[in-house]
């Protein structure tokens, strides 16, 4: 019998959750991760209500396993997304990049399990009180929007502060990382960068190739001055952004303008020079394009071999 609390709560086989990557995590990727026995997620960030509904309907056709939706709280479509999630009877959502207070009760009242991505102990404690069923403690090794505490420091502090299960994210891409996360007290892992290079991931091939070729020092965080720091692969765009951000004559609006649409340019159009290739520091470890089935089963069996099956 599987006694892992996250597997029991979500009715999944392996305690492996896919990151809700904006412009990347669509029905194809989410259903492939769910069919592999993990929890796949559709990113709501880049879709209006009807586009999100289309992806949900598609995923329902592609898998009979549970899957969820990631609600990015800074999204212009967040209100529509919450509405569609409730209407489509989505079983679980993850929230990220903000405080989900405004939406918690509505989601819970509609029977949606809410797992909040947090980058601090304070927010973890707050969302537990609001009814979150688990938290993802996401360290700053992650790609995309990041906090400033590392996974190694954040996870055990969040584990000690809350009574709900903790899912670790940031810098995890193989069985060693998963085993380490479990040793810190996490009961599951969330991975973005590893699934970004999955065979079933529809991100533009240029982006995938850049991630597969990246080394350990190839990411950079920009956007701190705007209040939303983002980790992405170094390229023309991030170098220019970094330079302008450190120039006191640059106006915040100029930076906002540069950042707007940058993820879409890289993920959809394949412009990996002037677009933003968000990805985590663990990219240097990810060297092959594998199926979601291989990713999920291999990371779990490697972690089991390191930890002992009863522990995972």
Nearer to ligand TUI, 237 or 263 (CB): 263
For the bound state, the minimum distance from the C-beta of residue 208 to ligand TUI, rounded and expressed in Å, comes to 17
Question: Which of 15, 38, 68, 98 lies at the binding interface for ligand TUI (CB under 6 A)?
Answer: 98
Helix locations, 131-270, DSSP H: 151-161, 175-183, 193-196, 205-213, 236-245, 252-259, 262-267
Distance, first Cα to last Cα, the chain? 12
CA dihedral 24, 26, 28, 30 (to 10 degrees): 100
281-301 burial, b if ≥16 CB within 10 A, otherwise e? bbbbbbeebbebbebbbebbe
114: phi then psi, degrees, rounded to nearest 5: -115, 120
285 sits near ligand TUI (criterion: CB under 6 A):
no
Name which of residues 175 to 214 contact ligand TUI (CB under 6 A).
Answer: none
How far, in Å, CA of 53 to CA of 33, rounded?
Answer: 19
Q: DSSP state, 283?
A: G
CB of 123 to ligand TUI, least distance (A): 5
> Taking the complex as a whole, how short is the minimal distance between the CB of residue 273 and ligand TUI, in angstroms?
18
Is 158 a binding residue for ligand TUI by CB under 6 A? The answer is: no
Q: Which of 29, 45, 85, 312 binds ligand TUI (CB under 6 A)?
A: 45
CA 279 to chain centre: 10
Query: Least distance from C-beta 100 to ligand TUI, angstroms?
Result: 9
How many chain residues are in contact with ligand TUI, going by CB under 6 A? Answer: 20
- Judged by CB under 6 A, does residue 144 bind ligand TUI? yes
CA distance 90 to 10: 12
Q: Is 119 in the site for ligand TUI (CB under 6 A)?
A: yes
Q: Which is nearer to ligand TUI, 98 or 165 (CB)?
A: 98
Residue 81 in the binding site for ligand TUI (CB under 6 A):
no
Q: Yes or no: say if 229 and 145 are a contact pair by the CB < 8 Å rule.
A: yes
145 lies in the binding site for ligand TUI (CB under 6 A):
yes
Q: Which of 58, 176, 228, 293 binds ligand TUI (CB under 6 A)?
A: 228
Scanning 83-91, 142-150, 194-202, 242-250 for contacts with ligand TUI by CB under 6 A, the matching segment is 142-150
Question: Is residue 263 part of the contact set for ligand TUI (CB under 6 A)?
Answer: yes
C-alpha 54: how far from its chain's center?
Answer: 21
- Binder to ligand TUI among 7, 9, 10, 22 (CB under 6 A)? 22
C-alpha dist (Å) from residue 237 to 64, 233, 260, 284 = 41, 10, 12, 20
- All residues at 6 or more sequence positions from 104 whose CB lies less than 8 Å from its CB, including other chains: 114, 127, 130, 131, 132
Q: Which is nearer to ligand TUI, 33 or 117 (CB)?
A: 117
Residues at the interface with ligand TUI (CB under 6 A) = 22, 45, 72, 96-99, 117-119, 123, 138, 144-147, 228, 230, 263, 278
């Amino acid at each position: 019998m599987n006694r892992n609390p996250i597997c029991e709560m979500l009715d999944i086989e392996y305690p492996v959750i896919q990151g809700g990557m904006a412009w990347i995590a669509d029905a194809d990727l989410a259903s492939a991760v769910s069919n592999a026995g993990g929890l796949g997620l559709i990113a709501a960030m880049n879709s209006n209500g009807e586009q999100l509904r289309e992806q949900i309907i598609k995923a329902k056709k592609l898998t009979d396993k549970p899957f969820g939706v990631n609600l990015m709280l800074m999204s212009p479509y967040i209100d529509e997304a919450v509405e569609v999630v409730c209407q489509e009877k989505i079983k679980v959502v993850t929230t990220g990049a903000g405080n989900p207070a405004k939406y918690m009760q509505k989601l819970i009242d509609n029977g949606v399990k809410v797992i909040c991505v947090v980058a601090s102990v304070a927010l973890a404690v707050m969302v537990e009180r609001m009814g979150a069923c688990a938290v993802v403690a996401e360290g700053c090794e992650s790609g995309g929007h990041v906090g400033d505490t590392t996974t190694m420091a954040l996870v055990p502090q969040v584990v000690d502060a809350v009574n709900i299960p903790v899912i670790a994210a940031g810098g995890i891409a193989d069985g060693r990382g998963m085993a380490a996360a479990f040793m810190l007290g996490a009961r599951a892992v969330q991975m973005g960068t590893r699934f970004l290079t999955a065979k079933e991931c529809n991100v533009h091939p240029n982006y995938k190739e850049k991630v597969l070729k990246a080394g350990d020092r190839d990411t950079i965080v920009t956007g701190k001055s705007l209040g939303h720091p983002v980790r992405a692969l170094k390229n023309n765009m991030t170098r220019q952004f970094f330079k302008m951000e450190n120039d006191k004559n640059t106006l915040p609006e100029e930076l906002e303008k540069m950042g707007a649409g940058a993820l879409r340019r890289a993920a959809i159009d394949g412009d990996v020079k002037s677009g933003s290739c968000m990805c985590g520091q663990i990219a240097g470890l990810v060297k092959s394009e594998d199926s979601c089935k291989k990713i999920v089963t291999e990371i779990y069996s490697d972690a089991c071999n390191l930890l002992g099956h009863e522990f995972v």
